[in-house]
Amino acid sequence: MDNLNRPPFDQELAASLSRGRSVAVSGFADRVVGAVRADRRRRIVIRWSSVATAAAACLVAILALSTPSEEALNRQTLALVARDESAQFADLLGAADDLSLLSPAVEKSSVVDVLNAPGS
């Protein structure tokens, strides 16, 4: 642009603005590098926090899915109790059969009575 052909207003506008065109600040680069390092550390912390939070959420989900519900626990308990009674009953019957085989002369009902008697 030819400054000589421009009216004073344009010349002075350009001169005034160009005086503020470049404002060097001493130590600014070091301040920026410090701020960038802090920003980098902050983002690493945020990233690892996110990973840890996600891992914790997965662990809780796995534990929740693998733990039986109260109803399931009740069913399992009842089944165990039922299985134990049947096993006892089978044992009794098995013992009675054994006795009847070994002692055919003895009445099976009397053996059962003896076994069922209090204190047996």
Partner 1 sequence: MSQEEPMLPDDEDDKRLMALVAAGDDDALRLLVHRHHARLVGYLRGEVGSQATAEELAMEVFIRLHRAASRWRPEAKLSTYLIHIAHNLVLNEWRRRGRKPTTALEFAAEPGDSSQQSARRVAELDEAFQRAIAQLPPEQRSAILLVVQQELPYEDIAEIMGVPVSSVKTWIHRARSRLRELLKDFYGNE
Nearer to partner 1, 31 or 75 (CB): 31
Among positions 2, 4, 22, 119, the unique one binding partner 1 when judged by CB under 8 A: 22
DSSP H/E element including 103: none
Among positions 2, 4, 5, 29, the unique one binding partner 1 when judged by CB under 8 A: 29
Q: How far is the CB of 25 from partner 1 (least distance, A)?
A: 6
Distance of CA 116 to the CA centre of its chain: 53
Q: How far is the CB of 26 from partner 1 (least distance, A)?
A: 5
Contact between 46 and partner 1 (CB under 8 A)? no
Amino acid type, 77: T
Residue 42 CA to residue 104 CA, distance in Å, equals: 89
Residue 78 CA to residue 80 CA, distance in Å, equals: 5
DSSP H/E element including 85: helix 70-102
Angle ∠(106,112,113) on CA atoms, nearest 5: 100
Options 14-22, 52-60, 66-74, 81-89: segment touching partner 1 (CB under 8 A): 14-22
Residues contributing to the site for partner 1 (CB under 8 A): 7-10, 12-26, 28-33, 35-37, 39-40
